[in-house]
Structure 1
Amino acid sequence: MGPRDQAGSDGSRAEGGSALKGVAAALLDAHGRVVWWSRTARWLLGWSGEEVAGRSARDVLGEVETYPESSAGVRRVRLRHRAGHVVEADVRVSEAEGSDARLVLMRLPGEPGGWDQERDIARALLAQDGIGVAQYDMAGRLVRTNAAMEALRPPGAGDDWLDGLAARDGGGSARAAFERVAATGTPLAARVYDLGSDGGAVALSMSCFRIDDVLGAPLGIMVEASRVTGTGPQLDAAYRGAFEIGQSLDVVQVAQDLTRVLVPALGDYATVDYPDDVLEGRDPPTGYPGQEASAPRRVAVRAADGVWPARLIQVGEAIPPVAETPDIAAKLVGDVLVADAEQARRIFGGDPEVIARFLPEGVHASLGCPLYRRGRFFGYAVVHRTRTAAAFDETDVKLMHDLCARTATAIDNAFRFAREHQTAVVLQRSLLPPAATRSTAAETAGIYLPAGGSVSVGGDWYDAFDLSSLRVGLVVGDVVGHGLEAAATMARLRTAVQTLAELDLPPDELLTRVDDLVRRMQIEAEQPDTVGGSCLFAVYDPVGRTCQMASAGNPPPALVTPDGKVSFVPVTPGPLLGVGDNPFEVTTLTLPPGSTLVCYTDGLLGRDVAAGTERLKADLAALSGAHGTPAALGDALVARSPHTKNPVDDISVLLARTHVVAEESTAVWEYPADLSAVADARAHVQARLEAWGLEELLFSTELIVSELVTNAMRYAGGPVTLRLVRDRVLVCEVSDPSSTQPRLRRALATDEGGRGLFLVAQLTSRWGSRYTARGKTIWTEQNLPEA
């Protein structure tokens, strides 16, 4: 049988969500004949699998099959389409191990994620002229450099001039470092290498990383280098330490990182001050707002001996106001300010008390720099020298400028993350229901904890809502991913679950419909793998005390019975939403009155699910007797869990304390399919409503029962079951063995029938129907008369 492709009859392109999306492929045997042809190859070149089966690859691919496999890997080739026009494509040829067969991979240039993406990245790096860049292949041969790297090359040096440079910290030659990066893929960050034989007065700070293609095959390495003059051991450490600034999204931690680099690299005392806008999470306005508007506060200090003098401004203390002199304004809106002891004292007006608060004793020189980013003033950093009288030189000024620029960028990044995180949290919380609800069926309490640290808010949610016949729906779910997209996806799924639940679908069918929705969302999304999630849906009936539930990859809920025993509901876990083609199973159980159902997402268990499950069971057993309400139990459970202090994933918990409708508030009758039994139904209803003291509802209820029971006997057969339930509303249910749903229609003036359901709708506050295991149930609700 020849090769087959799976394109449609129109030759349309078939794309999946894998790394080979958009890649055309052909498999050639040892004689160069086509033995397999992909659907995307048909889309690219027009030939079907049947047409190319057994043909020589030269007939359809030209000389492609003769290209040897190489480290470069990709060639730009002109291919001929079946219709005659030329198709330009990037082609990679891979040889089979132990065989002469070859795999030919082809894709159009410039497509997202294409093989030329690495070349685009390299081209962008090489085009800039601020940092020296060199590209090497996997064999260590120089491929290309930019003008900035050529400017760093010593006169008369060859192409391999970087190889012989020795690391200042004794880490070996640059060539050895390049080979390690190429072999392991572990990047090299800001290592200083001596340049020339001038005693280390001039050096290069170099970083190196490996570049891979879209399939993960290494293509080579990229080296970045910049000149560092006047380097010493402390300055080398400063450049390496600069990479630690900004690792945290906490703006105070960023300031502390900066002071750790400034001392001892540049001086003996360092301070960082922020305006209150930064500390309170507000994005500062553009430009310098002035001292009064900025209200600066000290956030980080560091001394070389580890002891910060008590007479200086302490961390957390507001910066005392100083007269707005030209020198003060210049230091806040200008660039790096270099000052000797006399200049530093003059900046503060010569007032001894003010100087004593700002300048350490015995100061010889000071270096200050504002923290600006995108025109916004984020703060000010200062470093002082007391142990040496040496003035700050140009190298120190450049280092100070670079460190403060990196710090300002880190603060700005933290603000951007904080804004998105706060927006997502607000959106997430606004889309969740009230934390606590109370209904006939259950008392519920929900808890949502967003992920902490650098992880953005995710798509966890919980929900509890009333259903027909006094039942309650309980939902917990977790959407794949984090950020605003996950929150928006969560909102869509929560709305879909509520809408489908209003149709009285059983849990398994509801999850099937939600799974279909998720798969449609995957088709619409640019990255299908980012759409999906888990969900648990349960329905509790307080009349029969039954609970039905189904799970789409969500952990099983815990059940705490009134006697304090804790167990996990043996729900059969179905596949995650978006997988499809797998049915969901319904688990049904009868709950004792006062039972507590604890539904949760996997964030509560942590990474070790087995250990987390055992810990949850033990915590519930210890807490269930001491905390009465679901809200109190939920708060205690969250406080006790080790994963809630700084959660690495979102956590949602929904606790439901079940109630039951008293037996004396329900009445059930069964009738044969005999229209004469309608009179019996009216009589039974009249007697029961009089016993309940609901005479005001006699007329409307008898009319509703007459209409529904008559229709059931006439169109569905018997037996017909009638049930009344008295609670906050009067519920009337009529069940029959037919699966045909009733339909409300508008009757014409000449019609003799068709007005029954219209009258039912006018006499009730709500009505509807739902399928059951043996047919359907039509239900109505009437508001009780005021006492």
Structure 2
Amino acid sequence: MERVSAVAILDAQGVVKGWSEGARRLTGLEAADVVGRPARDLLAEPPAPEGVAALTGTAVLRHRDGGAVPLTVTACAVLDEDGRPDGYVITAGPPDRHEPTLAELAFQQASMSMSVFDADQRYLRLNDVACKVMGVPEDVLLGRPFPETVEDEVHSRGFLWHLRQVSETGRPLRYESFTGAPALNREHAWTTEMWPVRDPSGELIGTALAAFDSSDQYWARQRLALLNEAAAAIGTTLDVVRTAEEMVGIVVPRFADFASVDLFDWVLGAEEPPVLTGTDIALRRVAHGSVTEGTPEAAVHLGEVDHYPPFSPPARAILEGRVIQSQAGEPAFMRWVAERNARAPAGRRHRVGAHSMMAVPLRARGTTLGVAVAVRIRQSDDYGADDAVFAEELASRAAVCVDNARRFARERTTALALQHNLLPRGLPGQAAVEVAHRYRPSGSQAGIGGDWFDVIPLSGSRVALVVGDVVGHGIPSSATMGRLCTAVRTLADVDLPPDELLTHLDDLVTHLAGDDSDEVAELGATCLYSVYDPVTRRLSLAAAGHPPPAVVLPDGTAQVIEVNAGPPLGVGGLPFEAREVELPEGALVALYTDGLIEDRDRDIDHATAELCRALTAPAESLDALCDGVLKAVLPEDPSDDVALLLARTRALGADRIATWDVPPDPERVAGTRQAATDQLTAWGLDEAAFVTELVVSELVTNAIRYGAPPIQLRLIRDRTLICEVSDASSTSPHLRRAHAYDEGGRGLLLVAQLTQRWGSRQTGSGKTIWAEQPLPPV
């Protein structure tokens, strides 16, 4: 390319308007001598007509000393807003070329784009790389202002502003931009160094620049930033589908124009991973996204299962455990697209513009969970090696989040199943109370808690109402809850008073945690144990760190029963205190765990008041009231499990109870037995008279012989016929097998054989021996 030595600017009439330093050196004429004069006055001889028509050729100028200066001249028209020539930029140089210097060769052959502008930001010189970037030869750009050579006005304004800053301030600067270029098919990142050019006298005569294409470094920084963003954006919830959607949201649109995530069905359920073979691989589409609204590139609908043949990139990625890349024109890519389009629903075929794709296996902890696919349509660059490394790192992070969500879902399902199996499903039949219950598991990431409840029938038509809460969440808490629930049922079968039962339960929890002090907190629990007697209508209760129950009386007033709650189970140190209250028939007792009224954002007193109001709301049934209470009191997203047990009290009337005081005289046994028989006749239970006579005779005789007065006999007609004999002795009888020659010891064995069940319980004044027998069918 020809080096430019001089530049002149002419208007439409051929009058000189601008004169460069190079023109002064060639002709010896100063700008003041030339500007304003017709250009033809500077010619030593007329130009050739063909040169004037072609705006290029050889012209002979008159030197200041009178000599002739032959120059190779090129004219470039400057157009006005109507497209008509408004002047010309004349560039000229000596016709003979000298050998380029080393500096000139270095400038021309530099690996970065280099350009030189005059003080008005017109091109004076470009090297080969700059011409390649601009897409035109040097002579097309010489003399033209920079803004006329680019179409990007935004970039043009920023670039031109920096060029002018260098010209005006005389200081070099660095300019970083991300833009395209006329000859480039996509945008590039540029780091441009600009500096002033001065003549030997120090006067600024132009501006030079060198632009370095830093796209590789730019995209590396973008990929790193995207990975950092993915670390915060993926895995915000422990939901498998949501995690897959978050991954797609990171990839589209910055890394791909379309992306999808397909998982094995076992990831979404509780099954174990299947053994992969060479057959078609079945995957379920859980998430996809596109830069185009409606995601027309998706050949599979969300939630559907698709089968990938072994040759397809997704199947290969899973089977080979590595990133599979494929580009348009490759046989594997074209085969995959054709196969997808053949099976895709109408309107969901891959567009022709898809030119590059990548399939990445989702692997976590040595297990393959599925595959992610990224496709480029609008983005012009194909996926490269750096993109594969980025995709593999992103997929690895996302796979761990998906696996965490899968494990959480599996543990939650297991804990919930364990919880449901351990909680009472069908409450046993009893006449003391009408009950309804609800269990609401927590929806938080902490998992299922250890809340539980139980209704335990006791002797004498009494019933135990229990609620408890094990500290912690997950399977360990559910398992501990099951152990405590079993322990409470075992202790309740001994008929211990509430405070004594909690003392034994506290010892059990302390024993369970004794082998490992780190488990004390995990095994800690709260419990409320209460016993209701429908004969006396009394409710006795004791609490271990548990919220007190609420009671709604038949007149509609609601209140909380004040209980001196002891420490939680497993803490120890203080005794438990029992309280006893008398309730009218039809009273409603509500037992619940702390998740119903306690929350970090709620006032417990306000929540308790809301509970009391909700309990007084009219409802068709206790089940409906349970639902109403949960809806009124619980927040939308409770952070803890909730167990709610409602019990409406009943009372046994005097017509169903018969009581006799028995003198401590063996001769009075017959009269007592006859009184019991007469009562059964009055109740219409003659068929039970024979067994009842034997039971009454044996129990009363034992009380007279081995007990202490006062002695009392009580018959209760409930769902079973209950015979109770009480005395003032605390010594409990024991069932034993009499030998062949023993004169006694067969009485209790006979009672056990003839009745449905029997037992004894301690009372405040002694003990009670009881036996139950089924009532004959009506």
TM-score range, shorter chain: 0.5 to 0.7
| Counterpart among 760, 767, 775 of residue 776 in structure 1 | 767
Match of 2:553 among 561, 566, 569: 561
Q: 1:184-203 counterparts in 2 under 5 A?
A: none
Question: How far 1:781 moved relative to its partner?
Answer: 1.0
Structure 1 residue 509, shift from structure 2 partner: 0.3
Distance 2:532 2:219 in 1: 73
Consecutive unaligned residues in structure 2, runs of 5 or more? 1-188, 193-215
Whether 2:492 is the aligned partner of 1:504: answer no
Q: How far apart in 2 are the matches of 1:469 and 1:351?
A: 74
How far apart are the structure 1 equivalents of 2:411 and 2:303? 29
Distance, in Å, in 2 between the alignment partners of 1:271 and 1:608 is 39
Aligned to 1:82: none
User: What's the secondary structure of 1:573's corresponding residue?
Assistant: coil
Question: Structure 2 CA distance, aligned partners of 1:615 and 1:275?
Answer: 44
| Counterpart code for 1:316 | L
For residue 521 of structure 2, what is the aligned residue in structure 1?
Answer: 529
Counterpart check, 1:425 vs 2:380 = no
Change (3 A) 1:386 1:753: closer
In the alignment, structure 1 residue 248 sits paired with structure 2 residue 237: yes
- State the AA in 1 paired with 2:288: A
Of residues 442, 461, 472 in structure 2, which corresponds to 1:481?
472
SS of the residue corresponding to residue 472 of structure 2 reads coil
Q: In structure 1, which of residues 631, 635, 640 is the aligned counterpart of residue 627 of structure 2?
A: 635
Aligned length, in residue pairs? 560
Counterpart residue number, 1:384: 375
1:560, 1:593 → 2: CA distance?
11
Q: For 1:17-416, list aligned pairs within 5 A.
A: 231-232=219-220, 234-244=222-232, 245-280=234-269, 282-287=271-276, 290-291=279-280, 294-303=282-291, 307-310=293-296, 312-313=298-299, 316=302, 318=304, 325=311, 329-334=315-320, 335-343=322-330, 344-349=333-338, 357-360=348-351, 362-373=353-364, 376-416=367-407
Deviation at 1:669, TM superposition (A): 1.8
CA pair 403-518 structure 1, distance change in 2 beyond 3 A: same
Give the superposition deviation at 1:414. Answer: 2.1
Query: Could you list the per-position Cα deviations for residues 630-664 of structure 1 after superposition, in whole angstroms to 9, with x for gaps in the alignment?
Result: 33322332344434x54322222222222222220
Q: CA deviation at 1:418?
A: 2.2
- The 3 A distance-change label for structure 1 pair 562 and 360 is farther
- Find the aligned partners of 2:606 and 2:251 in 1 and give their Cα distance: 48
Equivalent residue number for residue 109 of structure 1: none
Q: Does 1:544 align with 2:531?
A: no
| 8 Å contact kept, 1:450–1:651 | yes
Instruction: Mark the CA change 1:232 to 1:597 in structure 2 (over 3 Å): closer, same or farther.
Output: same
CA shift at 1:584, angstroms? Answer: 0.7
| 1:656 maps to which of 638, 644, 647 | 647
Instruction: Note the 1:430-509 alignment, pairs <5 A.
Output: 430-509=421-500
| Residue 695 of structure 2 is aligned to residue 704 of structure 1 | yes
Mapped to 2, the partners of 1:280 and 1:732 lie a distance apart of 54
SS of 2:348 mapped into structure 1: helix
Letter in 2 for 1:272: V
Provide the C-alpha distance between the structure 2 equivalents of 1:554 and 1:329, rounded to a whole number of angstroms.
56
Task: Find the aligned partners of 1:324 and 1:609 in 2 and give their Cα distance.
Answer: 54
For 2:306 and 2:512, locate their aligned partners in 1 and report how far apart those are by CA, in whole Å.
Answer: 57
1:516 aligns with 2:507: yes
Relative to the length of structure 1, the TM-score reads 0.66
1: distance between equivalents of 2:753 and 2:442? 49
TM-score, length of structure 2 as denominator length: 0.67
State the secondary structure of the residue aligned to 1:592.
Answer: coil
Counterpart-to-counterpart distance in 2, 1:766 and 1:347: 74
Residue 66 of structure 1: aligned partner: none
Residue among 595, 606, 610 paired with 1:603: 595
Post-superposition shift, 1:272?
Answer: 2.0
Residue 224 of structure 1: aligned partner: none
* 1:626 corresponds to: 618
| Identity %, equivalent residues | 42
How far, CA to CA, are the matches of 2:363 and 2:539 in structure 1?
60
CA deviation vs aligned residue, 1:292-325 (integer Å, no higher than 9, x gap):
x51432523242x7x3444644752636667664
Asked whether the equivalents of residues 435 and 447 of structure 1 are also in contact (C-alpha less than 8 Å), the reply is no
CA RMSD in angstroms comes to: 3.0
Q: d(CA) in 1 for partners of 2:700 and 2:341?
A: 98
Following TM superposition, by how much is the alpha carbon of 1:437 offset from its aligned partner in structure 2, in angstroms?
4.3
Larger Rg: 2
Corresponding residue number in structure 2 for 1:590: 582
Per-residue deviation, residues 470-512 of structure 1 (Å, max 9, x unmatched) = 1111111111222222222212211111111111110000000
Which shifted more, 619-628 or 499-508?
619-628
Distance 1:409 1:546, change over 3 A: same
Equivalent pair of 1:700/1:763 in contact (CA under 8 Å): yes
- Deviation per residue, 1:531-550 (Å, 9 max, x gap): 21101111111111111111
Quick one: distance in 1 between partners of 2:629 and 2:502? 28
> Deviation at 1:361?
6.1
Taking the aligned partners of 2:317 and 2:301, their CA distance within structure 1 comes to 21
Describe the shift of the 1:322–1:691 C-alpha distance in structure 2 as closer, same or farther (beyond 3 A).
Answer: closer
Please state whether the residue corresponding to 2:580 is helix, strand or coil.
strand
Q: 1: CA distance between counterparts of 2:501 and 2:397?
A: 51
The 10-residue stretch of structure 1 (360-369 or 575-584) with the greater mean CA deviation from structure 2: 360-369
SS in 2 for 1:589: strand
* 1:681 aligned onto 2:667: no
Counterpart contact for 1:451–1:647, Cα < 8 Å: yes
Task: Report the Cα distance in structure 2 between the residues aligned to 1:752 and 1:435, rounded to whole angstroms.
Answer: 46
1:255 is aligned with what amino acid?
Answer: A
2:338 aligned counterpart, secondary structure: coil
Report deviation, 1:255: 1.0
For residues 260 and 288 of structure 1, what CA distance do their matches in structure 2 show? 32
Partner Cα separation in structure 1 for residue 429 and residue 604 of structure 2: 29
Deviations along 1:149-182, one digit per CA (max 9) or x if unpaired, are xxxxxxxxxxxxxxxxxxxxxxxxxxxxxxxxxx
What is the CA–CA distance in structure 2 between the aligned matches of 1:599 and 1:456, rounded to whole Å? 23
Structure 1: runs of 5 or more not aligned: 1-197, 202-227
Q: 1:702 to 1:436 in 2, by over 3 A?
A: closer
- Provide the rounded CA distance (Å) in 2 between the counterparts of 1:327 and 1:300: 17
Change (3 A) 1:318 1:740: closer
